[in-house]
Amino acid sequence: MPELPEVETVRRTLNNLILNKEIRDIDVYYDRMIRTNTTKEFKDILENRVLKDIGRYGKYLLFHFDEITLVSHLRMEGKYFIKDLDMPKEKHEHVIFYFKDGTTLRYHDTRKFGTMDIVKTKDLFKENSPLSNLGLEPFDEKANLTYLKHKIKNRKTPVKGLLLDQSVLTGLGNIYVDEVIFLSNLHPETPVNLLTDNDLENILENSMKVLNKAISLGGTTIRSYTSSLGVTGRFQNELYVHMRKDEECKICHTKIEKIKVVGRGTYICPNCQISKM
């Protein structure tokens, strides 16, 4: 599943390839992917518009046109391909944007979980927008200790659950949450009400560090997701615990274990990550 660094990698690549292109036509082969509009409205709104910028918030890609934004979430397996007009349609291409210059942008999704919404750009963070309930990105300077404590209030959820909750911090998924918790020397089952200010500061700092490093390496390429635009992420080589069951901890040489926390496969070093309970 693509997380913030992989989506950011897709964003940067697309920004280099399709900016300022004008949409001539759109084919939608799976109507349910378009959530806020009928397929006809979706086409009517976007056709003849010029793509002005591609942004990102958390794991959402934001295709900005004048006044409106197409909000795209890749979910489990969504990918974009840029192909020439005459390339045949593949089975899992569900939305094809035809540009006036003869190229196409194709949304490919084997699981069909991805979504597309059209939102007025000025209302991107307002009610009814898919972004309305998201928390701050870890890079945001407002994402500080006060913010995190306010979000935790009296919750007793395991720290892993807190960091997966996109309404607290947005952009971290299973891979990066495991890494952030390891680097913060915490056990993933630690109830968040037991975290000290110092633990929370570490979490914030490590979230930023891990995401920035992953972005700089083009994301993580593991069997669950590969980007489609010719970019192979290299962060998998930097992972301390995630997907490293039975391998040695890079710090203390203890064998990494895989456990389940909040229903998710979770990798820990049982020596570096001692439970506070």
Q: Which residues bind Zn ion (CB under 5 A)?
A: 249, 251-252, 254, 269, 271-272
Comparing every residue's Cβ against Zn ion, the nearest one is: 249
- 3-class DSSP state for residue 69? strand
Residue 248 is among the residues annotated as catalytic for this protein: no
- Answer yes or no: 234 catalytic: no
Q: Which of 49, 75, 155, 264 is catalytic?
A: 264
Phi (first) and psi of residue 88, to 5 degrees: -65, 150
Identity of the residue, 191 or 270, whose beta carbon is nearer to Zn ion in the bound complex? 270
* CA torsion angle 98 99 104 105 (round to 10): -90
Provide the residue type at 28 as one letter: V
Q: Which amino acid is at 175?
A: I
Distance of closest approach, residue 179 Cβ to Zn ion, in angstroms: 13
59 is a catalytic site residue: yes
From the list 125, 128, 127, 120, the residue with the least C-alpha distance to 136 is: 125
Residue (134 or 269) nearer to Zn ion, CB: 269
Catalytic site includes residue 127: no
Closer residue to Zn ion in complex, CB, 229/259: 259
Q: How far apart are CA 181 and CA 202, in angstroms?
A: 9
Q: Which is nearer to Zn ion, 168 or 269 (CB)?
A: 269
> Could you write out the three-class secondary structure of 157-218?
CEHHHHHHCCCCECCCCHHHHHHHHHHCCCCCCCEHHHCCHHHHHHHHHHHHHHHHHHHHCC
- Tell me which of 56, 59, 79, 244 is the catalytic residue: 59
In contact, 135 and 167? CB cutoff 8 Å: yes
Active-site annotation, residues = 2-3, 59, 264
